[in-house]
Structure 1
């Protein structure tokens, strides 16, 4: 079985929140993905692709919150105009803003298991399909010096433009990618470098935080030398889904799904408040 076979299916659901989420908390997006994990995992919804954008936000991982001077680091981010939230999962700090498009692919493993590497490979295949101009130039391996480094960093010519993560819940899997589409990738990396410098103050820690080298990060518009926008990529996503499936169900969460969303939203906000209270 090829990883593309996960993408060629009879029906996709497409939830485009690239405009509606911008001035809302990114915690709402984590709750939305948890809701979709539950719905898709339990086969109460077709497999789903969700697009989302948030204004200036830095999403911190649990390890980031253990920095010795994390409060000063968060204060620095706020002075720079960014909100800071903590996600209750692995990974390290990432930047969200109006030039970063997040895409979640939500699949069910109720009928057959999908292992973690397969989830990453499905997203890699999807991103390559989105940008045929780049195709196999898009590679997946760790980019040393990037923020939130991992074995599935996506890069072109050695410069990272995206990172992939996964969330698993109720037999559902949300594979999430942040795509730096517009603007300066190195400027975003500079912000995170300043955060770590402020939060560490040179102290030695058991956990090794990344030494950020801004020059190893770039946006897709920079790498592809195209005037690419977030809106362009949302349109590409919709068109791609129409190629992959016989039917694409458009629209947000339905009224009968909102109670479940409220449950996950409350849970996400409570966890974030507990994490920030420990700072």
Structure 2
């Protein structure tokens, strides 16, 4: 297994803070935009002079579904319930299952090049270790294993004392990869879990399905603020991530998208819109 510091040991890193962003080059900044942006960043981190990137992003009330969720037998009823509760719904193009986002959830994408020589598991381990490094002065209790009863469960759920606050997914495009994590920073993790629990109850009911969907137990989820017993904000976490990156690299650059990246963004965004046509009609 590769050392996580070696994986982020680049002299130059690109920093993109998209938190609170309303528009991106003429497009409303929804979760559709975010996943298209990560695809483009992954496409362009190639070659010997590649600049890896860290991107931070937030979205107001949004539920991001995984591909298996799009096959739920009563999906239309589930999406309608989310809409009635003020949530916008999309299906993402990376792994995982349903996740609840709002302004208290910080999403972070670590976009790395040369993925042909690095395993999927090494990428997950790199993100886990980076988050531990970001929070190293606050806790050494962060563990990575599947939290049964959480939403979007996986082997790399991040938890403190058995309660999950973060989940990781990964999207590989050609030779680049976006390792994506959502971090429940502020607010009530339990309330987010209750929403996803209710979604599955409405969208699946008692139907028999080939895929095993999670039975969500809100008691096993919480925000970092709750788990650490302190008023930790998304703004605080952004500063922590930037400070951690400054320890690991020589130069941080904030470059806008190039003409080539913008051309690819149009294509990837349109693909995301097409992927979500049926979901859009349900809301």
Do the structures match in fold with TM over 0.5? yes
Aligned to 1:11: 12
Contact map agreement 1:41 1:169 (CA 8 A) in 2: no
CA positional deviation for 1:210: 0.6
Contact map agreement 1:11 1:247 (CA 8 A) in 2: yes
Gaps of 5+ in 2: none
**Are 1:26 and 2:31 matched, yes or no?**
yes
Aligned to 1:268: 272
CA positional deviation for 1:141: 0.1
What are the within-5 Å matches in structure 2 for residues 224-243 of structure 1?
Answer: 224-243=228-247
Aligned to 1:137: 141
Q: What CA distance in whole angstroms lies between the structure 1 residues aligned with 2:194 and 2:31?
A: 21
Contact map agreement 1:166 1:174 (CA 8 A) in 2: yes
Aligned to 1:212: 216
Aligned to 1:186: 190
Change (3 A) 1:227 1:58: same
Contact map agreement 1:21 1:52 (CA 8 A) in 2: no
Q: 1:90 aligns with which of 58, 83, 95?
A: 95
TM-score (norm 2): 0.92
Change (3 A) 1:269 1:51: same
What are the within-5 Å matches in structure 2 for residues 44-193 of structure 1?
Answer: 45-109=50-114, 113-193=117-197
Q: What SS does the corresponding residue of 1:8 show, helix, strand or coil?
A: coil
Q: What CA distance in whole angstroms lies between the structure 2 residues aligned with 1:46 and 1:30?
A: 19
CA positional deviation for 1:132: 1.0
CA positional deviation for 1:253: 2.1
Q: What CA distance in whole angstroms lies between the structure 1 residues aligned with 2:276 and 2:237?
A: 30
CA positional deviation for 1:164: 0.3
Change (3 A) 1:42 1:59: farther
Q: What CA distance in whole angstroms lies between the structure 2 residues aligned with 1:204 and 1:17?
A: 40
Q: What CA distance in whole angstroms lies between the structure 2 residues aligned with 1:251 and 1:218?
A: 35
Q: 1:199 aligns with which of 197, 203, 222?
A: 203
Deviations, residues 204-261 of structure 1 (Å, cap 9, x unaligned)? 2221111110010000011111111111111111111111111111243234521121
Gaps of 5+ in 1: none
TM-score (norm 1): 0.94
Q: What CA distance in whole angstroms lies between the structure 1 residues aligned with 2:117 and 2:281?
A: 37
Q: What SS does the corresponding residue of 1:41 show, helix, strand or coil?
A: coil
Name the stretch that deviates more: 87-96 or 145-154: 87-96
Q: What CA distance in whole angstroms lies between the structure 2 residues aligned with 1:150 and 1:174?
A: 17
Change (3 A) 1:94 1:42: farther
Deviations, residues 22-75 of structure 1 (Å, cap 9, x unaligned)? 973101000000000001135674000000001100011121111111100000
Q: What CA distance in whole angstroms lies between the structure 1 residues aligned with 2:50 and 2:227?
A: 36
Deviations, residues 114-145 of structure 1 (Å, cap 9, x unaligned)? 10000000101110111013443111000000
